Structure 1
Amino acid sequence: MKYKKILKGIFLERPNRFVAKVLIDGKEETVHVKNTGRCRELLLPRAKVILEDCSDNPNRKTKYSLISVWKGDMLVNMDSQVPNAVVYQALKENKIPEITDLSKVRREVSFGNSRFDIYFESENQKGFIEVKGVTLEHQGISMFPDAPTERGTKHILEMILATKEGYRGIIFFLVQMKGPDLFRPHWEMDSKFSEALKLAKENGVEVLIYDSIVKDNSIEIGKPIELDLITRP
């Protein structure tokens, strides 16, 4: 996925979860934050950020959207709308070896009381994929979630039901950076979500984790990284 027009800035503060104050060419601007998560370890004062120029949209309240931030020498995409699009595009381009030869791929399909991100079909199977974007990293380990998520737990439990009805169920974590070589559920932040993920794996739900190739103006799927469901704090 590519952004049409980007520019650089310096993060100053985040008054609320929807907007941030950013210094652009020496001028302070209020920008939209495309991630309502906490992102506290990313949005630090004076952090270098990448913004999307949306000034050609007359309906917007802000000219720019914050899409990526530098964490040391690692660029982290924090656009929460990106993971679904990246995984969907990768499926269409046959870039995920675990899920190939698909005859149908659709986005936002309902099952039970949930709406899963992707529905797919191949000659011999039908299945659902729930995509989670990962922006939290600590000492080379990526983790999810960065805030408690009842909705995320609900999706996982619904995915277990889908597999019991004969569908192939996949929870797909897209790590929105290149660097971490391991993924763990964030037990300390949300033990219910973490337990649900472990239960899902034990009940036939597949858990896939891929990193990303992140550039100033683009993000695309990278390579698989290791899953650790055992280690707890």
Structure 2
Amino acid sequence: MKYEHITEGRFIDRPNRFIAHVEINGQVETVHVKNTGRCRELLVPGTQVFLEKSSNPARKTAYDLICVNKKGRGLINMDSQIPNKAALEWVKAGHLFPEKVQVTPEKTYGNSRFDLYVCSEKRKAFIEVKGVTLESDNIARFPDAPTERGVKHLKELIHCMQEGYEAYLLLVIQMKGVDRFEPNWETHREFGETLQEAKKAGVHILAYDCLVEPDRMEIQDPVPVCLASDWK
């Protein structure tokens, strides 16, 4: 997944979930933040950030903040829309299933809507995609804030399994170099417990890291998933 018209800046502050102030070429700009999560460990004053300039002159904000150079970690893509697009490209390119598949984004099933629906002569599968930007001590964690929506998605994937479909949770870790993925037990224990239930029910829990550059992000290598709440 590639971006266009990338600009470097320095993060100043974030007045609310949707905007930030960034110094770009000596000028303070109000920019759109493409992630409504907390991201407190990423958006630190003085941090180098990368932005995409909009081609729409009518927009209130001329830039989207998409990437952060985290101290001691390197580049982390924090665009919450990009994991789904990267996953769509990745699955279509044949990285998940051995046979040729048809991939449909935003597929409705019953009262649910999943990020991807995959079908072939061999399978019918739903895939829910979650972008992961939270990292500490080389461990990636999700979520960075309580997510009832995330719990709902896991329960819906379990229901799909019961209806005879394959079900996948694809955790797209928007950085390189992590040792493993864990649920963020401290922030939302219910999500971790539901993730354990989904695994036991047969839902495939997959985590992959990404090659991240200022103007692109590409899903790359598998990352171990640890669901034990008492793992040491």
Common fold, TM-score beyond 0.5? yes
* Residue 232 of structure 1: how far off its partner (Å): 3.7
* Residue 60 of structure 1: how far off its partner (Å): 1.4
1:189 to 187, 195, 198: 187
For 1:67 and 1:103, the matched residues in 2 are separated by 30
For 1:88 and 1:20, the matched residues in 2 are separated by 29
* Residue equivalent to 1:62: 61
The normalised TM-score by structure 1 is: 0.96
For 2:210 and 2:160, the matched residues in 1 are separated by 28
For 2:68 and 2:208, the matched residues in 1 are separated by 19
What RMSD, in angstroms, separates the aligned Cα atoms of the two structures? 1.1
* Residue equivalent to 1:32: 32
For 1:122 and 1:61, the matched residues in 2 are separated by 44
8 Å CA contact 1:187, 1:232 repeated in 2: no
For 1:211 and 1:122, the matched residues in 2 are separated by 26
Structure 1 residues 18 and 232, CA, compared in 2 at 3 Å: closer, same or farther?
farther
The normalised TM-score by structure 2 is: 0.97
8 Å CA contact 1:102, 1:120 repeated in 2: no
Q: Which runs of 4+ in 1 moved over 3 A?
A: none
What SS is found at the alignment partner of 1:162?
helix
* Residue 123 of structure 1: how far off its partner (Å): 1.4
* Residue 20 of structure 1: how far off its partner (Å): 0.2
* Residue equivalent to 1:19: 19
8 Å CA contact 1:39, 1:146 repeated in 2: yes
Matches within 5 A, 1:153-168: 153-168=151-166
2:113 to 112, 115, 130: 115
* Residue equivalent to 2:52: 52
For 2:176 and 2:207, the matched residues in 1 are separated by 12
8 Å CA contact 2:185, 2:229 repeated in 1: no
For 2:179 and 2:95, the matched residues in 1 are separated by 19
8 Å CA contact 1:208, 1:224 repeated in 2: yes
Structure 1 residues 187 and 219, CA, compared in 2 at 3 Å: closer, same or farther?
same
* Residue equivalent to 1:95: 95
Letter in 1 for 2:180: L
Letter in 2 for 1:60: R
* Residue equivalent to 2:209: 211
* Structure 2 gaps, min length 5: none
For 1:186 and 1:102, the matched residues in 2 are separated by 35
For 1:42 and 1:216, the matched residues in 2 are separated by 15
* Residue equivalent to 2:42: 42
Letter in 2 for 1:204: G
* CA deviation map 1:24-68 (0-9, x unaligned): 0111000000000000000001010000011x2033110000000
Aligned-pair identity (%)? 50
Worse-matched range after superposition: 75-84 or 110-119: 110-119
* Residue 95 of structure 1: how far off its partner (Å): 2.3
Letter in 2 for 1:152: G
What SS is found at the alignment partner of 2:177?
coil
For this pair of structures, how many residues does the alignment match? 230
For 1:127 and 1:133, the matched residues in 2 are separated by 19
For 1:155 and 1:114, the matched residues in 2 are separated by 8
* CA deviation map 1:107-150 (0-9, x unaligned): 00112322100000121210100000000000000000000101
